[in-house]
A and B are shown apart, each in its own frame.
Chain A
Amino acid sequence: MALSDQELKEIAYLARISVKEESLPSLKKELEDILGLFKELDEANTSGVDAMSHPLDLSQPTRKDEVTEEDLRDELLKNAPSVKSGLFLVPKVIDGEN
């Protein structure tokens, strides 16, 4: 299964993993080899078969609408690379999803 450079760059962007230009060819080959496995599924006859997304045939449990978590901010923020005034600091956000 062939992967174009453009496709690979788009996939890398979607996954937010930068790929160095020099690594592109070898990465492409590795991925193409793995993708080669995929076509083995083409011949499988799956008409009338439901997709399995859980090995369990059960129903989702629920929990009561109660506040059970207390303020553990200090502990939870201990691992943060950059914090100020209780906020996680990141390079400036412009527009975006929300």
Chain B
Amino acid sequence: MTLTVAYWSGFNPAGVNIMPAWINAAAKQLQKTYPNVNVVGDEITTSSESEYYSKVDLTERSARTVPDVVFEDSFLIGSDASAGFLRPLPQLTTWPGWNAYYPAMKSSASYNGKVYGAMNSTDVQLIYYSRKLFKQAGLPATWQPHSWGDVLAAARAINRHDNGAIPVWIYTGQAVGEASAFRGFEVFLNGTSDRLYDYTTHKWEISGPGFNATWNLLSQMQPLEEPESMWSNPNADATVALTLMPHQQVGIVFDGSWVATAYVPGGLAPWPGFSSAYGEAALPTQAGGAPGYTNQSGGWALSVPSLAPHPSLSQAFIEAASSASLLASFDPASGNLPPRADVLTQPAWQAAVKVNPVSKFASAQLPYTTFRPNLPTYVQVSNVIQQLTEQVSTRSMTPSQAAASYASQVTQIVGSGNVERMRK
């Protein structure tokens, strides 16, 4: 018997064998109990993450194409569960490993009170700043901004000093998909008094001072940002991490905690001098308001499609793959933070932290983190944000036009009974 595990090619960059190594290690564990089961990784190659989601969802529609286990972005769990594509896995909560998960990670993999998978990775957002460009611009060698104003001031100082360098990198536009909604908008909005979704009233917030401030910030950042030719490329993440940063051509970078993973020995682009070239800072709130910092986390889970023919075997594979010892190798290799606390004491994780010091700083940000609304309509709301960041960056819309467009488009998507306006 053969189990297929579908995953995205983007998680398995050329020259680095992360996914097959992890799947094979899990298969070996599984075969201790089920010796006749063969596990095959099914790498789904697409240029963008959103195309991977579409492809996986399409395979889940038919019993003839459905994989046994699917590598699922946690923000899609609600959407795919409500579509009926994923199987609830109530037995997973009785698995001994389940208790080791951070509570937020348990709810990340749940929808409507049911568990739909086990998380295998999470992350946080960081600011990377170039020590060289900061020194040239007369900025401090060790830097921690305490407000958006501090970030703008530093970016402007870099711009005044060096016209060749890109002062600030912020993901924007539709080409990079979810990255512009997540890292180019939501992490800033979370630093204001507004949120995408109000969990107390169960309504989407569609407008408010925080929304206006965030669109304004993006508009102010626009002249300091990377040029359109860079952000409109689906491989923008490679441009910043593999070209701009190694050449110290970008001053301030808003990106994920996984970026530095490429630079460790044996990584995609080993760079021993990374730590002396770039420092890390936490994301400040709008004006330094409590708790001072903000963040947002994503992460991936392993789930079982509804039409998968051997669900209990699929679940056994998930349990094997999500053990503390396997995640202790998989998470640092894939540039992620562990979703369960017991990974931190594993020798493999501790060895990895020594090689990649960013992961220590990153895990200290976990207390400030938040999650995207795990709701079916989030995917469409995210698309609205992606389009609007592009409109603001190309100056096709003013911040107030973007704010108005957001309110009307989101109302249309979720229905006027499910929205609220914040007036504070």
Q: Do A and B bind each other?
A: no
